[in-house]
Each structure stands twice: as C-alpha cells, then as structure tokens.
C-alpha cells in the first residue's frame, strides 16, 4: 500500500508567523524615521527623544512576561488574536499621543507619548514568546534550531523593511500620523487572515497528514519522562535555574544591540553624516542586510553542531558566546571609526554576528523546559527586554553628554557581559525544585 509522504504544512505556519511578526517589528521601528517631524512638532531634545523611544520597552517587558504565561494557559492562537488586534489599534493611537499629553498631562507631550508607547509595547510584547510556543508545538525536534530561526527572521527583516516602508509612507503622505494609520489597518487585516489558517497544534489542522504529525511528534514522544517531570515546575522555578537565568542575560545582550540600532541609527546618521530622510530609506536598510541571512544560518549551524558533536553546550552556549565576542569587537571598532562607510560596514557586520545565535536563546528554553515553553520564554523575554528600555534611553543620555561614540562603547560592554553569561549556560539542565524526584519516579 502506498504511504503518502509527509505534508509540509508546518512550513506554511512558519511563513505566516514571519509575516505577522514582520508587521509587529515595522510598527515598533517606524518611529525612528518619523523623528524629524515629531521632534520638530513637539521640541524634544536628544535625551527626551531617547526617553520617547525607551517608553515602549517598559510595556514590552511586561507584555512578554504575561503573553508567554497566557499562551500556556489559553493557547497560542487566542493570545495571537488579542495581541495582534491590540498592537494594531495602539499603532493607530500613536496619531494622538502628543496631543493627549498636551491636553491631559499639563501640556507635556512627553507624557502622552509615554502613555501610548507603554501600552503599544505591552501589546507587542507577547509576540516572540508566542512564536517560541508555536515553534515548540509545530517544529520537529531535529529542525528546532532552524525552525526557531525562521520565526526570528522577522527581527532583522522587519528592521530592514522598516526603513523603506516608513520613509515611503511619510514621503508619500507627508505625515507620520498617516503612516501609523496605514500600519495599524494593515495589522488588523493580517491578523484576521491569520486567524483563519492557524491552529494551536498540528493534530488539530486538517492539512497536516499522519506522516508529518509523526515526524513532528516522534522524538518528543520518545522521551516522556523529562516532559512529565518538567510539567510540574512552577513559574518561579525559572529563577532556580542557572542555565535559564544566564541565557536570559545572554539574550539581553542581543536585545541591547537590536534596540540601539533600531531606534538610534537614523538620527545618528542624520546628525553625524547629514543623511536626509529621502536617503535614509536605503541607507537605514544596510545594517540589517547581513542579519537577515545570519539569523537563518545560525539556526542551521546550531543544529549541525548538535548533530556533529551531540553536545548542546557546544551547539548552543559556545556558539552564542563566540558570536557575541566578535560582536563586541565590531562595536568597539565602530566607536573609533570616522568614515561613514566604515561605520556602516562595521555596524552591518556587528549586527550580523549578533543575529547569528538569535535562535539559540529560544532553543535553550525548549531544550531545558519543554513543557513550560510559553511561561519560561515570557520570563526570559521580560528579563532581556530591560535592554529595550535601557538601550535607547542610555544612548540618548550618553550621546548628549559624551558624543555618539559612547553609545557604541556601551553596546560593546553589553555584548561582553553576554559572552560571559552564555559560557555559564548548560542547555538541558532543567531547574530543580522540591518534588522533582517524585515527579520523575511517578512518570516512570
């Protein structure tokens, strides 16, 4: 009897995740290209503008934390719908942010932006924790590193496309407000489409055949004891795990680089090298080009190292530490460079190296706590997203006091801390709490 080959619907899910997360990323990065119009309208100084961009991170941290836990409790699909609708509506609310501050908060436009951007960040926060929850359900363990990297492709690709999309909409309409309305409406349309084709589990989708389901489930079904013991872990067990805590610090380093470049690159290039808005649409893309390839390559390399050595510590920890070390050297070099093209080349190389192990941080959570992926991914994202506040805010303060080179030195310090942290990570060594031994014995 002919047995049909495995269907490949999981890759459709992976593609849809990238598209939704792509819009999520363009929404958050678009403000950097509206800096000229917003600063001109409301009169923010450099430190104030850093604060405007940093407010997003306060909400983003808590959105990531709560979103991961809700994905475990309610299912990824429901949280995708709630978060996607909310962040699209708050993107539209950016239109009135400054005016709300002027009218309600004693004439403080900064307070209005703070309010809207905190809620905007909170709505976008769950996205990457839900991506990890989705990948843990839909990806075969043998392709986990690459599958996670597909979902994370939206980070550099979204940042790359933010430049032409945001600048194009501003130049086309002449208004940063119209840009946000268009982005918000587009998000609502895409999330409605996504809801019609997504299911929480491959078992629940009619386009997944038995052979594909067996491929996805085979390896995890072969090791029920670890999953059973892991399922008993409370949320606070995350903080008893040396591996999970240091992995979160390593991811902090990645987020720091990401948000510093996303929020400050356009203004830095404008102030230091006199690039205009009409030229930033393509110059702003350059630092993200390499990262679009390395985020995928890194997942492949991590999977290859695991297959070749059989050691998660090499495939995850050492690989990430080596990449962060090279990233550190690149940003130290940026701080000393004076030629615009040398600066852009080094930023591009440093960002590409930073993106190389992006999938590792998320894969470590799956490797270490397979039945608590949503909750523990959310906690990791919460800790790491301290950098979403710190990077743009500190860059504004440092650049105002000591010049732009200081913000690149601070970035290299953050990645150096990440190197140390990832060398402490031992993937697969789950958190231990009272009762673990009894749970394992019961599972047996």
Q: pLDDT digit string (tens) for 331-369?
A: 999 999 999 999 999 999 999 999 999 989 988 998 898
Count of Cβ atoms closer than 10 Å to residue 218 Cβ: 12
Structure-model confidence comparison of residues 106 and 330, the more confident one: 330
Q: How far, in Å, CA of 258 to CA of 28, rounded?
A: 12
Q: Is 227 a residue whose pLDDT tops 80?
A: no
User: How high is the pLDDT of residue 1?
Assistant: 52
pLDDT of residue 433: 52
What 3 state SS string does 145-166 have?
HHHHHHHHCHHHHHHHHHHHHH
**Read out DSSP for 225-246?**
HHHHHHTT--GGGGGG-HHHHH
Q: Could you give the CA distance from residue 45 to residue 110 in angstroms, rounded to a whole number? A: 11
According to the model, what pLDDT value does residue 347 have? Answer: 97
Q: Is-contact 93 137, C-beta < 8 A?
A: no
Provide the pLDDT confidence category of residue 430 given band limits of 50, 70 and 90: low
> What mean pLDDT is reported for the chain?
89
pLDDT above 80 for 432? no
The pLDDT assigned to 228 comes to 47
Count of helix runs (H) and strand runs (E) in the chain: 23, 0
Task: Give residue 206's region: left, alpha or beta (phi > 0; psi -120 to 50).
Answer: alpha
d(C-alpha 309, C-alpha 246), whole Å: 23
Report how far residue 150's alpha carbon sits from residue 299's, in angstroms, rounded to the nearest whole number: 8
Q: How far apart are CA 178 and CA 198, in angstroms?
A: 30
Among 21-35, 59-73, 267-281, 405-419, top mean pLDDT goes to 405-419
Cβ pair 176, 298 in contact under 8 A = no
Nearest to 129 by CA among 186, 183, 63: 63
Q: Contact 255/270 with Cβ under 8 angstroms?
A: no
Q: Taking Cα atoms as reference points, which of 426, 370, 374 lies closest to residue 220?
A: 370
pTM: 0.82
Q: Is 425 helix (H, G, I), strand (E, B) or coil?
A: coil
Q: Residue 444: what pLDDT? A: 33
Q: Which of 134, 206, 185, 176 is nearest to 23 (CA)?
A: 185
pLDDT tens profile 32-80: 999 999 999 999 999 999 999 999 999 999 998 888 788 888 888 999 9
Predicted confidence at residue 438, as pLDDT, reads: 43
pLDDT, greater one: 219 or 68: 68
Domain boundaries defined on the chain? 12-222+242-428
Share of the chain above pLDDT 70, in %: 92
pLDDT for residue 220 is more than 70: no
Instruction: Specify the DSSP class assigned to residue 318.
Output: I
Cα 127 versus chain centre, distance: 8
Find the Cα–Cα–Cα–Cα dihedral 75, 81, 83, 88, rounded to 10°. 170
Q: Taking Cα atoms as reference points, which of 150, 165, 139, 136 lies closest to residue 31?
A: 165
Q: SS3 for 121? A: helix
pLDDT of residue 231: 52
Q: How confident is the model at residue 300 (pLDDT cuts 50, 70, 90)?
A: confident
Yes or no: is domain 12-222+242-428 CATH 1.20.1250.20?
Answer: yes
Higher pLDDT, 439 or 98: 98
Output the CA–CA distances (angstroms, integers) from residue 295 to 94, 152, 309, 357, 423, in the order listed: 30, 7, 21, 7, 20
C-alpha 56/C-alpha 31 separation (Å) is 11
CA 289 to chain centre: 17
Query: Locate tokens 């749970």: which residue?
Result: 439
Q: Report the residue count for the chain.
A: 444
pLDDT, tens digit, for every residue of 103-159?
A: 999 899 999 999 999 999 999 999 888 887 888 788 877 777 677 777 788 889 988
Residue range 146-197, pLDDT digits in tens? 777 777 888 899 889 999 999 999 999 999 999 999 999 999 999 999 888 8
328-337, 363-372, 420-429: range with lowest mean pLDDT: 363-372
Q: Do 91 and 183 touch, CB atoms closer than 8 A?
A: yes
Paired tokens of 214? 């067996």
Q: How high is the pLDDT of residue 165?
A: 95
Residue 427 is inside which H or E element, if any?
none
């Amino acid at each position: 009897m002919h047995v049909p080959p495995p269907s490949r619907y999981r890759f459709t899910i992976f593609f849809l995740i990238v598209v939704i997360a792509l819009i999520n990323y363009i929404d958050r990065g678009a403000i950097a290209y509206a800096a000229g119009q917003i600063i001109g309208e409301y009169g923010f100084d450099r430190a104030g503008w850093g604060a405007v961009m940093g407010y997003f991170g306060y909400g983003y941290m808590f959105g990531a934390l709560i979103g991961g836990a809700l994905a475990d409790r309610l299912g990824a699909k429901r949280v995708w719908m709630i978060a996607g609708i909310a962040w699209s509506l708050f993107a539209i609310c950016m239109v009135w942010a400054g005016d709300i501050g002027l009218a309600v908060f004693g004439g403080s436009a900064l307070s209005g932006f703070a309010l809207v951007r905190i809620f905007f960040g909170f709505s976008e926060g769950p996205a990457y924790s839900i991506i990890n929850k989705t990948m843990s359900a839909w990806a075969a363990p043998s392709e986990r590193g690459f599958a996670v990297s597909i979902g994370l492709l939206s980070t550099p690709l979204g940042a790359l496309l933010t430049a032409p999309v945001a600048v194009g909409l501003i130049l086309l309409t002449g208004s940063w407000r119209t840009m946000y309305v268009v982005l918000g409406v587009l998000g609502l349309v895409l999330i409605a489409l996504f809801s019609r084709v997504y299911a929480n589990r491959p078992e629940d989708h009619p386009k997944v055949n038995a052979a594909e389901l067996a491929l996805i489930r085979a390896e995890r079904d072969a090791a029920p004891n670890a999953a059973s013991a892991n399922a008993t872990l409370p949320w606070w067990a995350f903080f008893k795990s040396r591996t999970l805590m240091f992995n979160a610090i390593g991811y902090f380093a990645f987020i720091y680089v990401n948000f510093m470049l996303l929020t400050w690159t356009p203004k830095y290039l404008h102030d230091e090298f006199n690039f205009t808005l009409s030229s930033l649409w393509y110059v702003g893309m350059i630092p993200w080009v390499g990262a679009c390839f390395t985020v995928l390559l890194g997942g492949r390399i991590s999977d290859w190292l695991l297959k070749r050595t059989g050691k998660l510590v090499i495939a995850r920890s050492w690989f990430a530490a080596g990449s962060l070390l090279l990233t550190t050297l690149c940003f130290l070099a940026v701080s000393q460079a004076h030629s615009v093209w040398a600066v852009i080349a080094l930023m591009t190389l440093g960002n590409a190296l930073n993106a190389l192990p992006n999938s590792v941080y998320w894969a470590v959570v799956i490797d270490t706590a397979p039945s608590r992926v949503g909750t523990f991914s959310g906690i990791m994202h919460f800790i790491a997203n301290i950098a979403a506040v710190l990077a743009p805010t500190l860059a504004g303060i440092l650049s105002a006091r000591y010049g732009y080179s200081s913000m690149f030195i601070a970035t290299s310090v953050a990645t150096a801390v990440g190197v140390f942290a990832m060398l402490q990570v031992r993937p697969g060594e789950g958190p231990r709490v009272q009762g673990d031994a009894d749970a394992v014995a019961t599972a047996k």
